[in-house]
């Protein structure tokens, strides 16, 4: 493999007639709950803390209201690396997960593949490596902390409160900028665009639709509703406008620390 100074890792995901969830190092990276065909390239540097072995988990899932994966289901997952911000440099194949099952002969509701690939990066993020095992903490207290964050984030979006947003997401953005080699100008452009295109007023879906979920070897916690990635699902008060899901995961550095957004 040629030397790459700023390695940019991405998944190439191809599916048809099935749902899919992909995790890298036990962090949800991508999901799709549509039943048609799909091909997408998706960046994964946010899930790579440092050089070495990276865990990849792929879940192929039967569509809604079906008890087994369709016999017509197809999937293929590849990991590529290329030089960041240099489209003309091409990309190199790192790993391939081909489809091996014949769903016509063995109907199943879900297939889970767990594998590894090697990555080399010039940065070292800490992320939630040294954070608490959140499953050992009081569930009700965690839920209350997350609910407080949901109220705060809703207020930030509706009030377009830039400084509060930057403070709340600072830990996530610091590691994101490092893992994607962002310049000061690119960071500034991001800050200027974060509220663009938002509906005038947002509200969360009903609280009871969420369930608490743990990732990152139980060092990450979030909320999740059915057929959505982990995070907060916002709807526009004006029903003619689209809502969105704010993918967000929390960690806790120590028992005396508050939850903090880290991804």
**199-231 pLDDT per residue, tens:** 989 999 999 999 999 999 999 999 999 989 999
196 and 146 share one domain: yes
Q: What is the pLDDT of residue 190?
A: 84
Q: Are 232 and 246 in contact, with CB atoms under 8 Å apart?
A: yes
125: in domain: no
Confidence bin at 174 (pLDDT 50/70/90): very high
Q: In degrees, to the nearest 5, what angle opens at C-alpha 104 toward C-alphas 102 and 107?
A: 90
Letter string b/e over residues 99-118, b meaning 16 or more CB atoms within 10 A of that residue's CB? beeebeeeeeeebebeeebe
| Domain-terminating residue out of 62, 85, 119 | 119
Averaged pLDDT of the chain: 94
Higher pLDDT, 36 or 252: 252
Number of domains into which the chain is organized: 2
Please give the Cα distance from 75 to 205 (Å, whole number). Answer: 32
65 and 157 share one domain: no
What is the pTM for the complete model shown?
A: 0.92
Residue span of the structural domain in which 99 resides: 7-119
Q: What is the pLDDT of residue 202?
A: 94
**70-81 pLDDT per residue, tens:** 999 999 999 999
| Domain-terminating residue out of 119, 146, 165 | 119
Least confident of 115-124, 139-148, 184-193: 184-193
**3-30 pLDDT per residue, tens:** 899 999 999 999 999 999 999 999 999 9
Confidence bin at 1 (pLDDT 50/70/90): low
128: in domain: no
């Amino acid at each position: 493999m040629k030397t790459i100074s700023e390695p940019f890792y991405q998944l190439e995901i191809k599916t048809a007639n099935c749902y899919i969830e992909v995790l890298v190092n036990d962090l949800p990276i991508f999901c799709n709950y549509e039943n048609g065909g799909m091909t997408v390239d998706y960046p994964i540097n946010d899930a790579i803390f440092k050089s070495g072995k990276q865990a990849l988990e792929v879940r192929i899932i039967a569509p809604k209201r079906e008890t087994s994966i369709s016999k017509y289901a197809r999937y293929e997952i590849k990991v590529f690396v290329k030089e960041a911000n240099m489209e003309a440099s091409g990309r190199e194949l790192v790993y391939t997960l081909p489809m091996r099952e014949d769903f016509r002969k063995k109907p199943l509701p879900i297939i889970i593949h767990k594998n590894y690939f090697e990555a080399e990066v010039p940065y070292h993020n800490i992320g939630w490596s040294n954070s608490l095992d959140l499953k050992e903490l009081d569930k009700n207290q965690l839920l209350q902390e997350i609910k407080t964050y949901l109220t705060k984030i809703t207020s930030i979006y509706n009030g377009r409160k830039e400084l509060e947003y930057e403070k709340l997401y600072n830990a996530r953005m610091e590691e994101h900028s490092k893992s994607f080699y962002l310049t000061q100008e690119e960071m500034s452009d991001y800050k200027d665009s974060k509220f663009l295109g938002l509906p005038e007023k947002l509200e969360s879906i009903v609280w009871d639709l969420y369930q608490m979920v743990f990732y990152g070897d139980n060092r990450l916690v979030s909320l999740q509703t059915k057929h959505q990635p982990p995070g907060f699902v916002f709807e526009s008060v004006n029903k003619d406008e689209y809502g969105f899901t704010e993918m967000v995961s929390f960690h806790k550095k120590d028992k005396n620390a508050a939850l903090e957004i880290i991804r």
